[in-house]
Structure 1
Amino acid sequence: MTSLSFSDLTFHWPDGTPVFDGLDAVVGPGHIGLVGANGAGKSTLLRLIAGELGPVRGSITRPGTLGYLRQDLGMRTGERVDSLLGIAELRAALHRIEAGTGDPADFDTVGTHWQVEDEAIALLGKLGLDYVAGSVADLDRTLDTLSGGETVLLGLVAELLREPDVLLLDEPTNNLDTVARGRLYAVIRQFTGTVIVVSHDRELLDRMDGIAELRAGEVRLFGGNYSEYERIIEAEQQAAAAAVRDARSDVRKQARELEAARIKLDRRKRYGQKMFENKREPKIVMGMRKRSAEVSAGKLRNSHLDKLDSARENLDQAEELVRADREIRVELPGTRLYPGQDVIVLDQVELANGPVVDLRVSGPERIALTGRNGAGKTTLLRRIVAEQPRVAWRLLPQRLDVFDESRTVFDNVAEAAPHASAEQIRGQLARFLFRGTDADIPASALSGGERLRAALATLLLADPAPKLLMLDEPTNNLDLPSLAHLTQALASFEGALIVVSHDDRFLTEIGVTRRLELTPDGLLE
């Protein structure tokens, strides 16, 4: 068993934005869930561990061989299967040797891996991907012929072929159907090395041995799974809220006592002044009384001021323990549909991958579109777009390839909403945590979670406002608090929804009215 350690780890982006400053921590051994709000630096930390980024200062101890499953595999559409698996060069050398044209360098490349193609296909079969690459020829396929879930599982196979000691997984359950998730859970359970998982999948996090929380540039470790972590944090937050209430009460009390002391001292001062004016005692005695009263008044005033300052300091410390994490705020347009109003009509439409479907959507229906990875759910959404829905619509694609990568987030949103003012656009982006200069970064520099937030902002500010939302895996890369906000917003949307998701809890909470499964025989109610 192995663990990772960070010593004085410091990293900031080229524009000077800090991420970590002197981080010291040890993570592992075992299976660890790395959690934290969007923007906390989870993916950045994985990239630092993997060596894709270099620290400004400090070091990372990486024992053994690393495997790293990135969250943006879906963007590499033109790459071949064998290239993603990391065996393209090896296969080429092997084929040259088999053809009799190999040289000594090819033999060095192959080494002892003469069965690499069979091993790769067998491992794909273990994860249920035998239909993706059931033969050697299938290893030449490109990723754009695969679904998002198939690409994720393929990436996992690629890392397992490296036989790593430490496995880094960044949102590994994105786009996976229920069966595929089960297979992934089994693979992780059987992995004997250290696993560090960044995920919003509660079931996966509940299978972890421990939780590492990344917050304010620091790592805090918790024993037990995510549910235990939640219980601890909830108890701490209840205690912190009680401490804040007590501290505020003490501040009010000390402020009242200070005011009472000031009133009392003012009365003494007026009485002393009256005695002095009436000259009822010798001047020297009255002077001594005045000086003594001033000293006493000063001590009393300072005592109350110190108590008030102390109470305010305690309040500040108590408030620091109360979490006020930034979360997206989703405000959907008022786009009411009425019962019976036609939205989508598809009659005997044949999809590219085989199924023939009939689909009628009317009024504010909420449809959950499910099916195995590769069944054609994304293909069906594209066909709906091609057939033109009968109301204003917007599609959130699974691969989030909706941006001009060279333009900023602001410019991309502005193009989708030409009639919106700059203030309206920046206000909408702020609700999705793109505040100030964050809205001016190029789309090509966005992380997976940032791409999803920017895509949602673009979708919801579009002109005209959509009466039909088609969302392909909308929960990918969202932290759990932000997922709750999205859920609440979709639950209140008055238009029609078609949502592709494998998250049953999410589908239930947004109030789906129909569940359709796409199979080789078409859509099943």
Structure 2
Amino acid sequence: MPASITLSQISWATPDGRPLFSNLDLSFGAERIGLVGRNGVGKTTLLKLVSSDIRPESGTLSVSGSLGILRQSVQVAADVSIADLFGVTDALAVLRRAEAGEATADELASADWTLPARIAAALGRTGLDAEPQTPLAALSGGQRTRAGLAALVFAEPDFLLLDEPTNNLDREGRAAVIALISGWRAGAIIVSHDRELLENMDAIVELTSLGATRYGGSWSHYRERKALELAAAQHDLADAEKRISEVARKAQATVERQAHRDRTGRKMAAKGGIPRIMLGGMKERSETTGGDNARLAERLRAAALDEANAAREKIEVLQPLSVRLPPTGLSAGKTVLRMEGVTVGYRPGDPVIRDLSFDVTGPERIALTGRNGSGKTTLLSLITGELKPWAGTAAVITGFAMLDQKVSLLDPSASIRDNFRRINPHSDENTCRAALARFMFRADAALQTVSTLSGGQLLRAGLACVLGSAPPPLLILDEPTNHLDIDSISAVEEGLSAYDGALLVVSHDETFLESIGIERRLELAGGDLVG
């Protein structure tokens, strides 16, 4: 029986009672599906439903075939290795004992001598050069993502469920993952905002507040079809609204003509000469005609309203994200950040960064680049004071704010609103609400607990709290586009383009870096600055 996933009449609501899916119908076969939609619309939730991490409130879900699941972050314990992730630790131990002449007869009979080559092939398909015994804790976030994806490929599931698989990956890693997906011939459901990856899909499924819609073909084809459908729906809505106005205009004209006839009849009756029985008939006919006209007008109006509502149902009413930053007043000659001869690491004698020196002066826009594991996160920890240098000095000479990949400046147990007031203690309630509204957290949405937010919503909340009131002269962003939907990325690009402070950005998204006007690149390689 062919592998398949079928969702029928699925309904599910968030813990606070907000309906996310209602009577959702979807089916997937041996195809690569890109799952897209705005932040918070339920993309990750849909993957959790398919993987049985959560249960639907109603409806049925059927999965025929095996699943391989890659979540947004690969959680690791200190003693877990790549071999553990692959589930081959014991099998590799048997091979080692066999090579040393210590294996039992039963172990020799079950030994899989192809295992090392198959592990190496799986790691190679994701561009990861590492040994099976390598601890996952020693890998960067991007390297762990590649290791997790390699483990899935090794297991050869019928379906891959991938949640933002190119997040945190350097250029080489992204290229390897895109190549892997391009050649994948089984099923795959991939949540992503990576346009290059989405170009390799067989179909796009868009989730909106209206439900799910499938578009055959790649990302470009989806965008073309979506634009045509929206234009058609907007045209239908305009026509329906025009008909509503026309019905109202004609109904008013009919009422006015009937009123004119009634006034004429009353004047004639006042002059006399018309028998009373005829006057009664005229009045009755007038009332009947007026009632018939009103009922006809109401029927026409109701039909036009139904057409308008049907057109509106095809258009998701979206309130765009707006990022407008007040000026910081940072002068061109002011030194913002200074690193002099810095060396630092986590284990004595094994520095991650060696003798690093650079300055940031005035409103410079700098991209911090390098392969996964090159020391970018370590450098950010130095700048923010989380790490102390072994040698040299690291000094931030102005106010700054940093948004790391986990948005750890937010208290997960507090609401977005309370986080904003804590981070911006001088802002009043009106300023707080206005700032949050610009980042699409209006009214009760601002009262959501941070721990309940999706990845994209979490990043928007962090941006709102840092940028919504008085942005600092130095802004440090670590992979800011990782969890944002494409429309939100565009809005952030527009806002940062107008920002007059200094920017230090870690990102592998070249389109984003170009859009925000990066002026200088600092590339780390093996703990050294090469650019």
Q: 1:336 to 1:80 in 2, by over 3 A?
A: farther
Letter in 2 for 1:480: I
Greater alpha carbon shift after TM alignment, 254-263 vs 299-308: 299-308
| Aligned sequence identity (%) | 38
| Contact 1:94–1:114 (8 Å) recurs in 2 | no
| Contact 2:91–2:112 (8 Å) recurs in 1 | no
Deviation at residue 71 of structure 1 after TM alignment: 0.7
Equivalent residue in structure 2 for 1:163, among 149, 156, 161? 156
**Partner Cα distance (2:336, 2:418) in 1:** 30
| Contact 2:181–2:200 (8 Å) recurs in 1 | no
Equivalent residue in structure 2 for 1:253, among 246, 253, 268? 246
Letter in 1 for 2:522: L
The within-5 A match list for 1:50-129 is 50-73=51-74, 76=76, 78=78, 80-82=80-82, 85-87=85-87, 90=90, 94=94, 116=115, 119-129=118-128
Residue 170 of structure 2: aligned partner: 177
**Partner Cα distance (1:430, 1:112) in 2:** 61
Q: 1:217 to 1:151 in 2, by over 3 A?
A: farther
**Partner Cα distance (1:252, 1:217) in 2:** 27
Equivalent residue in structure 1 for 2:196, among 194, 203, 209? 203
Greater alpha carbon shift after TM alignment, 245-254 vs 86-95: 86-95
**Partner Cα distance (2:330, 2:324) in 1:** 17
Q: TM-score, normalised by structure 2?
A: 0.87
**Partner Cα distance (2:421, 2:484) in 1:** 23
Deviation at residue 471 of structure 1 after TM alignment: 0.6
Deviation at residue 182 of structure 1 after TM alignment: 0.9
**Partner Cα distance (1:419, 1:97) in 2:** 66
Letter in 1 for 2:206: E
Q: 1:281 to 1:52 in 2, by over 3 A?
A: same
Residue 3 of structure 1: aligned partner: 4
**Partner Cα distance (2:501, 2:44) in 1:** 35
Deviation at residue 103 of structure 1 after TM alignment: 11
| Contact 2:342–2:353 (8 Å) recurs in 1 | no
**Partner Cα distance (2:121, 2:329) in 1:** 51
| Contact 2:195–2:219 (8 Å) recurs in 1 | yes
Equivalent residue in structure 2 for 1:291, among 276, 284, 293? 284
Q: 1:521 to 1:374 in 2, by over 3 A?
A: closer
**Partner Cα distance (2:512, 2:356) in 1:** 25
Q: 1:240 to 1:79 in 2, by over 3 A?
A: farther
| Contact 1:177–1:371 (8 Å) recurs in 2 | yes
Equivalent residue in structure 2 for 1:417, among 410, 419, 424? 424
**Partner Cα distance (1:516, 1:365) in 2:** 12
Greater alpha carbon shift after TM alignment, 445-454 vs 223-232: 445-454
Letter in 1 for 2:82: D
| Contact 2:210–2:316 (8 Å) recurs in 1 | no
Greater alpha carbon shift after TM alignment, 272-281 vs 363-372: 363-372
Residue 456 of structure 1: aligned partner: 463
Q: 1:311 to 1:59 in 2, by over 3 A?
A: closer
Greater alpha carbon shift after TM alignment, 415-424 vs 209-218: 415-424
Q: 1:370 to 1:81 in 2, by over 3 A?
A: same
Letter in 2 for 1:361: V
Q: Does 1:392 pair with 2:399?
A: yes
Q: Does 1:359 pair with 2:374?
A: no
Q: 1:185 to 1:92 in 2, by over 3 A?
A: closer
Residue 303 of structure 2: aligned partner: 310
**Partner Cα distance (1:406, 1:287) in 2:** 76
Q: Where in structure 1 are there 5+ consecutive unaligned residues?
A: none
Residue 206 of structure 2: aligned partner: 213
Residue 478 of structure 1: aligned partner: 484
| Contact 1:416–1:461 (8 Å) recurs in 2 | no
Q: 1:84 to 1:196 in 2, by over 3 A?
A: farther
**Partner Cα distance (2:224, 2:182) in 1:** 24
Deviation at residue 76 of structure 1 after TM alignment: 4.6
Deviation at residue 226 of structure 1 after TM alignment: 0.9
Q: Alpha carbon RMSD of aligned pairs, Å?
A: 3.1
* Post-superposition CA distance 1:65-86 (Å, at most 9, x none): 110100133x657563337614
Residue 374 of structure 1: aligned partner: 373
Residue 45 of structure 2: aligned partner: 44
Q: 1:239 to 1:58 in 2, by over 3 A?
A: closer
Secondary structure class of the residue paired with 2:7: strand
Secondary structure class of the residue paired with 2:481: coil
Residue 18 of structure 1: aligned partner: 19
Q: Does 1:228 pair with 2:250?
A: no
Q: TM-score, normalised by structure 1?
A: 0.88
Letter in 2 for 1:309: A
| Contact 2:370–2:376 (8 Å) recurs in 1 | yes
Q: Where in structure 2 are there 5+ consecutive unaligned residues?
A: 346-351, 386-393
Residue 518 of structure 2: aligned partner: 512
**Partner Cα distance (1:403, 1:298) in 2:** 63
Secondary structure class of the residue paired with 2:201: coil
Greater alpha carbon shift after TM alignment, 279-288 vs 433-442: 433-442
Residue 493 of structure 1: aligned partner: 499
Q: 1:23 to 1:322 in 2, by over 3 A?
A: closer
**Partner Cα distance (1:426, 1:258) in 2:** 44
| Contact 1:148–1:398 (8 Å) recurs in 2 | no
Q: 1:125 to 1:27 in 2, by over 3 A?
A: closer
Deviation at residue 426 of structure 1 after TM alignment: 4.3
